[in-house]
Amino acid sequence: MKNTFGAFISLKRLEKSISLRSFADAVGISPVYASHIERNMRSAPSVPILKRISNILVLNSDEEECLMIFIISKYMIENL
């Protein structure tokens, strides 16, 4: 699996045995949008959505750090 934001989210979701539809519902996004994120057809979502993803996937500290890197990268790109 590629080392991308979408691949990371997909891997963590599958490790927790959460269906895409259940995941999307819990995050508050459409299953299509969740699928597009996981397949890298969309960039990383907004910070509030990223925080909900982190909570739902119950990430450990290393995984949380990885997600924070995605958040920081997204913020830096948006504010160039």
Q: What is the tens place of the pLDDT at every residue in 10-33?
A: 999 999 999 999 999 999 999 999
- Number of domains into which the chain is organized: 1
Q: CATH number of the domain that 23 lies in?
A: 1.10.260.40
**pTM given for the model:** 0.79
Residue 13 domain boundaries? 5-78
- Grade residue 50 by pLDDT with cuts at 50, 70 and 90: confident
pLDDT of residue 2: 58
CA separation for the pair 60, 12 (Å, rounded)? 11
Q: How far is CA 54 from CA 8, 48, 78, 79, 80, in A?
A: 11, 10, 21, 23, 25
- Residue 33 in tokens: 């949008």
